[in-house]
């Protein structure tokens, strides 16, 4: 998949646990875990916005496009 999720890196930089992010964003731990590990095919803009607000980051800090070779 050419979209790489960097949520784990941003969370580590902010020293925020999955439980803490889950509480701030209002998304279940299991769903954030899937997102963090790249096991999702889509993300709602409202969820992305809430994550960016909680982590004080930009969408580009979490999502990266990489061309397939």
Helix or strand or coil: residue 12? helix
Q: Cα dist. 52→1, 32, 57, 69 in Å? A: 22, 13, 5, 30
pLDDT in tens, 25-50: 999 999 999 999 989 999 999 999 99
**DSSP strand E in the chain: where?**
3-5, 63-65
User: What mean pLDDT comes out for the span 17-23?
Assistant: 96
Helix or strand or coil: residue 23? helix
Q: How confident is the model at residue 65 (pLDDT cuts 50, 70, 90)?
A: very high
Q: How confident is the model at residue 1 (pLDDT cuts 50, 70, 90)?
A: low
Domain boundaries, the chain: 3-59
pLDDT at residue 60, rounded to an integer = 96
Domain 3-59 is classified in which CATH homologous superfamily? lambda repressor-like DNA-binding domains (1.10.260.40)
pLDDT at 3 over 70: yes
């Amino acid at each position: 998949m050419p979209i790489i999720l960097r949520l784990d890196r941003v969370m580590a930089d902010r020293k925020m646990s999955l439980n803490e992010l889950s509480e701030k964003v209002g998304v279940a731990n299991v769903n954030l875990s899937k997102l963090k590990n790249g096991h999702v095919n889509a993300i709602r803009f409202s969820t992305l916005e809430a994550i960016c607000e909680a982590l004080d980051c930009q969408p580009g800090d979490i999502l990266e496009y990489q061309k397939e070779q």
